[in-house]
Chains A and B, each alone.
Chain A
Amino acid sequence: MDLSHIFNSKKVLVAVFYAVFAFSSFSSFAKAQQQELATTSEHEAIESLTEEEEEDITKIILHHISDAHDWQFWGHGDHRVALPLPVILWTDKGLVTFMSNKYPHNEKGTTVFEEDGQSLVNYHGKYYYPSNTKNKEGQYLELDESHMPTNAQPLDLSITKNVVSMFISMGLLLVIFISIARTYKKREGKAPKGLQSLLEPVILFIRDDVAKPQLGYRYAAFMPYLLTVFFFVWINNLLGLIPLFPGGANLTGNIAITLMLALCTFILTTINGNKNYWGHVFKPHVPWWLYPLMIPVEIIGLFTKPIALTIRLFANITAGHILILALISLIFILKSVFVAGVAIPFVLFINVIELVVGFIQAFIFTILSALFIGMAIEEHVEH
């Protein structure tokens, strides 16, 4: 196992690199968000027409990249065309279900509706228990200084846009790969053909360049997980780039999804961790008097890995979506159709980059998952 020395240094380097990268991108993103929110509130105070539009654009961009209870195709207000989706809420009074278009589209929190004896209010696409009295802006909500409602929320188990998108991607994955598996059975020992020959190099890439180098001879047990993660992330990245239904749902740019995926890797790492792995955490190779420092660091290290995974994928995909939307919004901000001459080529350029990023992020997520699992199952090496 002379390879594992290189492996050790490499994996430490990679982990450090990505942790730093993820943290910096995360913090800059958060800062930008804070600023956006700050400007939003300022604008509301001034109430000028152009600024209202700018604020609208920020809202539209944020609206586009976040989850929704229906799938909007086009239009606004009364001309809004959207695919209604079921809303499932676990409220104080039990399960409440209704279609999202049952009540008029109002996300300002100014109307209260009652379903199954439970009164609810919708504010920015989220359902809240309404306050008893209106606030000064006519909303049945109590907003804090950053305009976030402090009202309690029911547990929202709705089939949202992202959930539908996820089901579509699942269906696609199942159809594609089960048909490929059938082709493999039918054309046993023959050269690949059609879709099979398109995806076989990718499968082999995951096996030979991701699983084998990171996991060694025990790679086979983790192949199904790595392949599932890779293709799940990849297809959702690609679907997210399609602006029309059934694409455009920014699923992998949603932190709940990336958190779920990272937690899967974390669980696999934790349950497969061998004596050597836990030994590194609780009995690191340092003088004993450094233990009080090293052991907490190692324990924090266990959790920073999945957090880095979560933030990286989320931030990269969301940033791409925001970039494209912002470039398109330039046309409306500058109010000139000629801006399109600059903006559209840029959007096209970013879109092509996003295609690559979609693959790279899926690959990085998979290779880091493999690396973390590899660290957990690595056999003891004499240092």
Chain B
Amino acid sequence: MTLLALNPLVSPDPGLFIWSTIAFVLLFFLLSKFAWKPIVKALDERERSIEDALTKAEMAKEELSKLTNENEQLLKQARGERDEILKEAKILKDQIVHDAKNLAQIESSKMIEKARHEIHNQKIAALEDIKNQVATLSLDIATKILRKQFEDQKKQQALVTDLVETIELN
């Protein structure tokens, strides 16, 4: 205590103490009511809202990734389906072409057959005609030759005799 009494610096001044107490208590209440309360509240609220926003963003991200996943899945499926359809179409096309080819072949072979048949018929007819003409011509020629040969009476006689001699009467 002698130390405190010695030095004016370390002996608290009662006036300043009283004033500072009044001032500080007043400052404390004013700041608490008008500054700290709204500030601390606003800070807490903002923190909460930021946390909220972050959680929501996280959720949105998840949702988005889920959606993207789904989209991808859908795309994949669609692609698969498209491939399937294309494949089927190709098969169908091949089938159709094949069928058409077959049909054409059958048709053409049928036509060829018909043509051949016709040709054959025509050939036969033509041959017949030629045979007939040849027969007529040969008859004509034969007639003419015969007529020439039998213009002479003797020859006719000879022939008849010849023929009669050959005939054997049984």
Contacts and interface: CB of A to CB of B under 8 A. Distances in A.
Interface of A: 30, 33-34, 37, 62, 65-67, 88, 124, 126, 146, 148, 155-160, 162-163, 166-167, 170, 173-174, 177-178, 180-181, 184-185, 188-189, 200, 203-204, 207, 220, 223-225, 227-228, 232, 254-257, 259-261, 264, 314, 318
Contact of A185 (B10, B40, B42): B42
Given A224-B37, A232-B27, A156 B14 contact: yes
30 contacts: A30-B3, A30-B6, A66-B8, A67-B16, A156-B14, A156-B15, A157-B15, A157-B19, A160-B15, A166-B23, A181-B36, A181-B42, A184-B38, A185-B42, A188-B42, A189-B45, A203-B39, A203-B40, A204-B43, A224-B28, A224-B37, A224-B40, A227-B36, A228-B27, A228-B31, A254-B16, A255-B9, A255-B10, A255-B12, A256-B14
Nearest to A34: B6
B32 A228 contact: yes
Nearest to A259: B12
Interface residues of B, number: 38
Nearest to B19: A163
Nearest to B8: A66
Contact of B23 (A33, A167, A181, A203): A167
B38 A228 contact: no
Contacts of A88: 15
A230 B38 CA distance: 18
A358 to B, nearest CB: 18
A73 to B, nearest CB: 21
Interface of B: 3, 5-21, 23-24, 26-28, 30-32, 34-40, 42-43, 45-46, 49
Contacts of A189: 45-46, 49
Nearest to A126: B8
A124 B13 CA distance: 14
B36 A37 contact: no
A177 B9 CA distance: 32
Contacts of B9: 33, 62, 65-66, 255, 318
Contacts of B18: 157
Contacts of A163: 15-16, 19-20, 23
Nearest first, the 7 A-B pairs at minimum CB distance are A177-B35, A184-B42, A224-B32, A256-B12, A156-B15, A256-B16, A256-B17
A157 B63 CA distance: 70
Contacts of A33: 6-7, 9-10
B6 A146 contact: yes
B34 A178 contact: yes
A34 B28 CA distance: 37
Contacts of A167: 23
Contacts of A157: 15, 18-19
A185 to B, nearest CB: 6
B96 to A, nearest CB: 69
Given A255-B9, A256-B14, 11 more contacts: A34-B7, A67-B16, A174-B27, A178-B34, A181-B34, A181-B35, A189-B46, A204-B43, A255-B12, A260-B20, A260-B21
B98 to A, nearest CB: 73
Nearest to B26: A170
A159 B19 contact: yes
A248 B31 CA distance: 24
Contacts of B40: 203, 207, 220, 223-224
Contacts of B39: 177, 180-181, 184, 203
B16 A261 contact: no
Contacts of B27: 170, 173-174, 228, 232
Contacts of A260: 17, 20-21, 24
Contact of B28 (A66, A225, A257): A225
Contacts of A34: 6-7
A156 B39 CA distance: 38
Contacts of B42: 181, 184-185, 188
Q: Which of A155, A163, A173 has the most CB of B within 10 A?
A: A163
A207 B43 CA distance: 10
Contacts of A30: 3, 6-7, 10
Nearest to B13: A256
A225 B40 CA distance: 12
B79 to A, nearest CB: 46
A67 B30 CA distance: 26
B6 A148 contact: yes
A73 B82 CA distance: 93
Q: Which of B10, B18, B26, B35 has the most CB of A within 10 A?
A: B35
Nearest to B25: A264
A30 B2 CA distance: 11
B82 to A, nearest CB: 49
A8 B42 CA distance: 33
Nearest to B32: A224
